[in-house]
Amino acid sequence: MDQVVIGVDSSTQSTKAAVVDAASGRLLAVGRAAHTVSGEAGARESDPTSWWGALADAVAAGLAQSGAGGHAVTGIAVAGQQHGLVVLDGAGRPLRPALLWNDTRSAPQAAALTARLGVPEWLERTGSVPVASMTASKWQWLRENEPHTADAAAAVRLPHDFLTERLAGVAATDPGDASGTCWYNTATGAYDPRLLELLGLDTALLPTVAATGAARVGSLTASAAAALGLPEGIAVAAGTGDNMAAAVGLGLGGAGLLDHPVVSLGTSGTVFAATRARPAVAALAGFAAADGTYLPLGCTLNCTLAVDRVAELLGLDREDAVPGGEAVLLPYLDGERTPDLPGAAGLLTGLRHATTSRQLLGAAYEGAVFTVLRALDALPGPVDADAPLRLIGGGAQGRMWVETVRRLSGRPVVLPRSTELVALGAAALAAGAATGEDPVAVATAWRTGEGETLAPVERDHATWDRVSATLDRAVPALLT
């Protein structure tokens, strides 16, 4: 068996472990294990130790399906859901369940932090403005609501940091995922002392920031090797956040494509592009990328799960939808991040006697896609406004999602053949850690971002304008 690498996608709902031929990039197998998310009324939490168990199960399943023995693995990297807050005791045990990115309870803390410094200074330091999803807001919520837990914290980690530390025994993160905390300065490439002071957060609690996500931060420990059935001492990369890993998997970055927009349809909807220009736009998250470039990104909370919930309420299959007609449905079932409406609920308007259930489901698709594409409009230049949209995530496998994106954007759409781009991006980071190669160049050689190009269709301006006008009128009510 040739040498293989393992890329781990530890997302909100599950862990996927991609076993990849290191030379060709051929995806040999993907092992999967589910996560449990709990909480209501804005709370979204998971037990971090369950992520480790899921990682072990997914790796075992992937190796068994691939036929590759653990002895063939030369490197491993984790791409994790961004922004989650993991607080540990001195023995590395979680003090409480992790606060996940889509936990909106910290909206008041986000607003207060923004007011303390003002939008311009936040953008100057971090490239982003605090919202409920950012880790700094969650840490502030913890300080105010569970001060005993915050005081007891011996370590503060992001989800992917927690897993990387379990692999290598080293507290390390990367610039990409660190840039989603709102305490990392994307201009200086380091934690920001002024922000840490504002948050009452000691830098000693935080992981070291590696140069890139592909940097080798350590070797697989004996205990981790035994748990995963892998060789002790193989390369462990710093890893990164899930969006940054998807960019690597698409071949976006300094050694690949720059300024090409991506739309990702999953639990959340995201739009991003790799650029050399440091972003500082209030409507976006001004992230760093895993390879040293930047990744301006817009993120919505409500995407595929919200539309699936509407389909369930209507008793329809998710594909049993048609355009919404006069109906407009903003599926903000979990509040919303972009636009920043953390207290919002779903909104339905425009019903007529002739409106059908299939149209209502179509209106949910239109509301979700509109929200994502409006975030796309905020991506700063030199992002190419005429370039095809690279469409990824679970929604990219759905006919109605694809057709709604085409209809509301009027742009060509590229559907990459590879469907596990986060895990494949993590695998490229693992290959970079094992060999010293640039991970974007690795993914480009693997051709993981290539796929079918769908020609543009005439843009549906009427639907776009109807949903836009509805949202603009509704914002004052949704803010309350």
Which pLDDT tens digit goes with each residue over 193-206? 999 999 999 999 99
* Strands 86-88 and 155-157, bridge-based pairing: antiparallel
Please check the confidence at residue 480 and state whether its pLDDT lies above 70.
no
337 and 206 fall within a common domain: no
With respect to residue 317, please indicate whether it lies within any of the assigned structural domains. yes
Sequence-distant (6+) residues with CB within 8 A of 108 are none
Please check the confidence at residue 14 and state whether its pLDDT lies above 60.
yes
Q: For residue 18, what pLDDT band results from cuts at 50, 70 and 90?
A: very high
Please check the confidence at residue 190 and state whether its pLDDT lies above 90.
yes
Q: For residue 378, what pLDDT band results from cuts at 50, 70 and 90?
A: confident
Please tell me the predicted confidence (pLDDT) of residue 340.
86
**Number of structural domains found in the chain:** 2
Q: Which of 341, 181, 380 is nearest to 261 (CA)?
A: 380
CATH of the domain at 17: 3.30.420.40
What does DSSP assign to residue 94?
B
Long-range contacts of 1-5 (CB under 8 A, 24+ apart): 1/67, 1/68, 1/69, 1/72, 2/72, 3/72, 3/73, 3/74, 4/28, 4/66, 4/68, 4/72, 4/73, 4/74, 5/73, 5/74, 5/75, 5/76, 5/77, 5/427, 5/430, 5/431, 5/434
With respect to residue 324, please indicate whether it lies within any of the assigned structural domains. yes
Host H or E run for residue 389 = strand 389-392
15 and 79 fall within a common domain: yes
Please check the confidence at residue 479 and state whether its pLDDT lies above 80.
no
d(CA 264, CA 372): 9
Please tell me the predicted confidence (pLDDT) of residue 384.
81
Q: Which domain holds residue 158?
A: 4-248
Q: Domain boundary at 228, 248, 268, which?
A: 248
Please tell me the predicted confidence (pLDDT) of residue 383.
83
Find residue 99's DSSP bridge partners: 45, 85
The predicted model gives 343-357 an average pLDDT of 95
Please tell me the predicted confidence (pLDDT) of residue 446.
97
Q: Quick one: 355 exposed, middle or buried, by C-beta within 10 A (0-12, 13-18, 19+)?
A: middle
d(CA 173, CA 163): 10
Asked if 7 and 79 count as a contact pair (C-beta separation under 8 A), the reply is yes
**Secondary structure E strands in 228-366:** 235-237, 240-241, 262-265, 269-272, 285-288, 294-300, 328-330, 347-349
194 and 255 fall within a common domain: no
Q: Which of 156, 127, 159 is nearest to 8 (CA)?
A: 159
226 and 93 fall within a common domain: yes
Amino acid at site 388: P
d(CA 97, CA 37): 10
H-only helix segments in 179-303: 193-199, 222-228, 242-249
Please check the confidence at residue 474 and state whether its pLDDT lies above 70.
yes
The predicted model gives 233-253 an average pLDDT of 97
Please check the confidence at residue 297 and state whether its pLDDT lies above 70.
yes
Q: For residue 232, what pLDDT band results from cuts at 50, 70 and 90?
A: very high
What does DSSP assign to residue 395?
G
Asked if 387 and 258 count as a contact pair (C-beta separation under 8 A), the reply is no
d(CA 300, CA 226): 39
Please tell me the predicted confidence (pLDDT) of residue 275.
94
The three-state secondary structure class of 479 is: helix
With respect to residue 441, please indicate whether it lies within any of the assigned structural domains. no
C-alpha separations of 141 from 134, 276, 344, 358, 459 in Å: 11, 34, 19, 41, 43
With respect to residue 435, please indicate whether it lies within any of the assigned structural domains. no
Active-site annotation holds for 242:
yes
Please check the confidence at residue 381 and state whether its pLDDT lies above 80.
no
86 and 118 fall within a common domain: yes
217 and 258 fall within a common domain: no
Q: Domain boundary at 248, 278, 295, which?
A: 248
With respect to residue 333, please indicate whether it lies within any of the assigned structural domains. yes
262 and 195 fall within a common domain: no
Catalytic choice (9, 21, 161, 242): 242
d(CA 288, CA 431): 21
pLDDT tens per residue across span 148-163 = 999 999 999 999 999 9
Please check the confidence at residue 1 and state whether its pLDDT lies above 70.
no
Q: For residue 476, what pLDDT band results from cuts at 50, 70 and 90?
A: confident
Please tell me the predicted confidence (pLDDT) of residue 380.
83
pTM: 0.93
215 and 275 fall within a common domain: no
Sequence-distant (6+) residues with CB within 8 A of 127 are 179, 186, 187, 278, 279, 280, 285, 286, 287, 294, 296
Please check the confidence at residue 364 and state whether its pLDDT lies above 90.
yes
Q: Domain boundary at 248, 283, 313, which?
A: 248
217 and 308 fall within a common domain: no
With respect to residue 20, please indicate whether it lies within any of the assigned structural domains. yes
With respect to residue 184, please indicate whether it lies within any of the assigned structural domains. yes
The fraction of the chain above a pLDDT of 90, given in percent, is 91
The fraction of the chain above a pLDDT of 70, given in percent, is 99
Sequence-distant (6+) residues with CB within 8 A of 204 are none
195 and 68 fall within a common domain: yes
With respect to residue 407, please indicate whether it lies within any of the assigned structural domains. yes
262 and 242 fall within a common domain: no
Q: For residue 464, what pLDDT band results from cuts at 50, 70 and 90?
A: very high
223 and 301 fall within a common domain: no
